[in-house]
Structure 1
Amino acid sequence: MASDEVLASLGVGGASAVAHALSLPAEAYGNDPQLEAMWAMKAYNHAEIYFNLISSVDPKFLKLTKLDDEIYSDFRGTFKDLDVKRLTTEDLKSEGAKEVWRPFCNRFEGLVEDFNYGTLLRLDAERDYSEENSIFATRVQFFAVEVARNREGSNDTVFLSQKSKS
């Protein structure tokens, strides 16, 4: 069942309850499998919407946040040589990477809403979201990488491939 069908099946009251549950801080919950499934669905929906956006609008014209310029400048100052076109798990999850990412992300606490919220990020910018091409990242990591991809032309392949199909 598609995620929009699942949400529709909940009705207004159920959807409101889900929205309320997802707005509570993580500390309010243990490892509730049902809640984890809701978070995963929310992350998947975000990924689907974003991919549709870069497929239909020239990415160089996209503004993802009001802080895109600051995020990009800080990102490229911190990660000068990071290849955003093709990321690896180690670029985000190795101990060395975490030591650099953590302070970078924390600089945006209070500036970017839900800065550490879990989001899906594509490893290869030229491919769609899939199990092998997606990694769980924080929202600030997603914004940093995707703003860089949009500005540096890494998402152009997605846009141009969809444009040529129409």
Structure 2
Amino acid sequence: MSIGGLESLGAGDALAAASALSRSAESCINDLISSAEPEFLHLTEQDDGIYNEFRRSFPTMMIAILNPEDLKSETSKEKWRAFCLLFDGKVAEFNFGTLLRLNATGEYSDENTIFATRIQFYAVEIARNREGCNTTLWAKTTEASKDGVTTTLSDDVQGVA
């Protein structure tokens, strides 16, 4: 199982894929985060099991601002591999690659994303929702919509909203 992403692509193809994924991810997170208060948001039918196993496997991992080494170091990869395999057959496409925000209050951007497996994304984002890390982002998106402003996360970060 590969925990990473686009290593097999050339630099140009990897950049194009990352850019496309980033736009898609930003749209998705805008829709998800603004749809409900994060503590009540469910990403899968397996949220409770994913969260409980994540915190059992990674009890001290800081999730508000992820350290890439917590996902990509050789030691971390071994722990994540064991975690990921727990969801084989339980979570569809658990080992597919996706983007994960490093900083929970930031947008999807080249500087604020890392490639991860789908189950890593679910584990971290479910934990962020339950532990209050996505509340700031939710407040930004809902405040903008109350004001009748349509914004993207990148608009908000740039001060346009």
Q: TM-score, normalised by structure 2?
A: 0.76
Pick which of 101-110 and 39-48 moved more.
39-48
Deviations 1:109-144 (A, max 9, x none): 111100011111000001111110001100000000
Pick which of 56-65 and 77-86 moved more.
56-65
Aligned residue number for residue 158 of structure 1: 137
Residue 89 of structure 1, CA deviation: 1.0
Give structure 2 stretches of 5+ with no counterpart.
Answer: 1-7, 147-161
Q: How does 1:61-76 map to 2 (within 5 A)?
A: 61-76=40-55
Residue 35 and residue 82 in structure 1: after superposition, are their counterparts in 2 closer, same or farther (change >3 A)? closer
Partner amino acid for 2:123? A
- Percent identity of equivalent pairs: 47
Deviations 1:30-49 (A, max 9, x none): 85987995686357424421
Partner amino acid for 1:131? D
After the TM superposition, which segments of 4 or more aligned residues of structure 1 sit over 6 Å from their partners?
Answer: 32-36
Residue 55 of structure 1, CA deviation: 3.2
Task: Report the secondary structure of 1:132's partner residue.
Answer: coil
CA RMSD of aligned residues (A): 2.2
Deviations 1:62-100 (A, max 9, x none): 111110000000000000000111101111111111011
Aligned residue number for residue 119 of structure 1: 98
Pair 1:106 & 2:85 matched: yes
Contact persistence 1:43–1:118 (CA under 8 A): no
The alignment covers a number of residue pairs equal to 137
Give structure 1 stretches of 5+ with no counterpart.
Answer: 1-29
Partner amino acid for 1:48? S
Q: How does 1:126-165 map to 2 (within 5 A)?
A: 126-165=105-144
Could you say which structure has the greater relative contact order, defined with CA pairs below 8 angstroms and 6 or more residues apart? 2
Distance of 1:35 and 1:91 partners within structure 2: 22
Residue 158 and residue 74 in structure 1: after superposition, are their counterparts in 2 closer, same or farther (change >3 A)? same
Greater Rg by CA: 1
Structure in which a larger fraction of residues adopt helix: 1
Contact persistence 1:56–1:162 (CA under 8 A): no
Q: TM-score, normalised by structure 1?
A: 0.73
